């Protein structure tokens, strides 16, 4: 059985790239996709939020009633991606994980615990 040379070369290239992505450490910092995190304020008070994504500061937001704020969280290959915010609403204060993307050992992303 003969295979077309372009198809054979393409399949071999895909196998090689897959092996590289699974075994090399530099791939762990490659962004798979950017996830948009949206903070929505629906009460009659102003919400203050200081957020981080993967340990990096993404900013402080002051969200007035009826408005929202957003930031991007880079979902990384072969790593856990966590976005968290410290929020203050009136006299209430708390720290919340707003996005948690995990993976299995083979490098396949398997889940997201989003929201709160």
Cα 66 from chain centroid? 25
pLDDT tens, position by position, 52-72: 988 889 999 999 988 888 888
Which pLDDT score is estimated for 23? 47
Residues 6+ apart with CB under 8 A from 31: 74, 75, 76, 77
pLDDT tens, position by position, 11-50: 555 554 455 444 445 445 566 677 788 888 888 889 999 9
Which pLDDT score is estimated for 78? 61
The phi, psi pair for 42, rounded to 5°, reads -115, -5
Q: For residues 114 and 116, give the distance between their C-alpha atoms in angstroms, rounded to a whole number.
A: 7
DSSP for 39-51?
EE--SSS-EEEEE
Are the C-beta atoms of residues 79 and 49 closer than 8 Å to each other?
A: no
pTM for the predicted model, two decimal places: 0.60
**Structural domain spans, the chain:** 30-114
Statement: residue 1 has pLDDT above 90: no
CATH number, domain 30-114, options 3.10.620, 3.30.1490, 2.60.120, 2.60.40: 2.60.40
Looking at every residue in the chain, the average pLDDT score rounds to 71
């Amino acid at each position: 059985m003969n295979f077309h040379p372009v198809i054979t070369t393409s399949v071999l290239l895909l196998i090689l790239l897959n092996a590289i992505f699974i075994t090399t450490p530099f791939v762990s910092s490659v962004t798979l996709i950017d996830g948009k995190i949206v903070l929505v304020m629906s009460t009659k008070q102003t919400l203050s939020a200081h957020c981080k994504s993967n340990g990096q500061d993404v900013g402080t937001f002051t969200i007035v009633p009826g408005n929202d704020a957003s930031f991007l969280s880079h979902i990384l290959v072969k790593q856990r991606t966590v976005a968290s915010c410290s929020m203050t609403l009136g006299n209430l204060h708390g720290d919340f994980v707003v996005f948690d993307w995990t993976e299995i050992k083979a490098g396949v992303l398997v889940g997201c615990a989003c929201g709160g």
